[in-house]
């Protein structure tokens, strides 16, 4: 995960936390967090990067909607990141 941007890492966390992560739901969650608009031109290329890195998978729900799911590798990367954070925060960080 050390080669991801902060935005890509946030995307990975949002995908992991949603029941049915599709583009608009991911975008809405990030906009709530960032308190600013997330443009499609930023969102989808970064999701594609995470797909290319094998951290999430992209599948079609219907002709207009893609679903993004966390891969096992993506889950391992999140767990590794949380372990690293715990090392420096000195406190327990909840894992899923």
The CATH label, of 1.10.287.110, 1.10.10.10, 3.40.50.1820, 3.40.50.150, for the domain at 6-89 is 1.10.10.10
| Model pLDDT, residue 62 | 85
pLDDT the model gives residue 61: 84
Which secondary-structure segment (H or E) carries 69?
strand 66-70
In tens, the pLDDT along 38-88 reads 999 999 999 999 999 999 999 988 888 899 999 999 999 999 999 998 999
- What pLDDT was estimated at residue 63? 85
Per-domain residue ranges for the chain?
A: 6-89
**What pLDDT is attached to residue 34?**
95
Does residue 93 carry a pLDDT above 70?
Answer: no
- Neighbouring C-beta atoms of residue 84, cutoff 10 Å: 13
In this predicted structure, what is the pLDDT of residue 94?
59
Q: pLDDT at residue 9 above 90?
A: yes
Please, are residues 4 and 12 in contact by the beta-carbon 8 Å criterion?
Answer: yes
Could you give phi then psi for residue 68, rounded to 5 degrees? -115, 125
């Amino acid at each position: 995960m050390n080669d991801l941007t902060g935005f890509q890492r946030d995307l990975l966390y949002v995908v992991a936390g949603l029941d049915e992560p599709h583009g608009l739901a991911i975008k809405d969650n990030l906009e709530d967090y960032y308190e600013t608009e997330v443009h499609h031109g930023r969102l989808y290329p970064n999701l594609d990067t995470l797909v290319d890195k094998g951290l999430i998978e992209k599948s079609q729900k219907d002709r207009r909607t893609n679903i993004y799911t966390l891969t096992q590798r993506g889950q391992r990367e999140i767990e590794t990141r949380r372990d690293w954070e715990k090392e420096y925060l000195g406190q327990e960080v909840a894992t899923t």
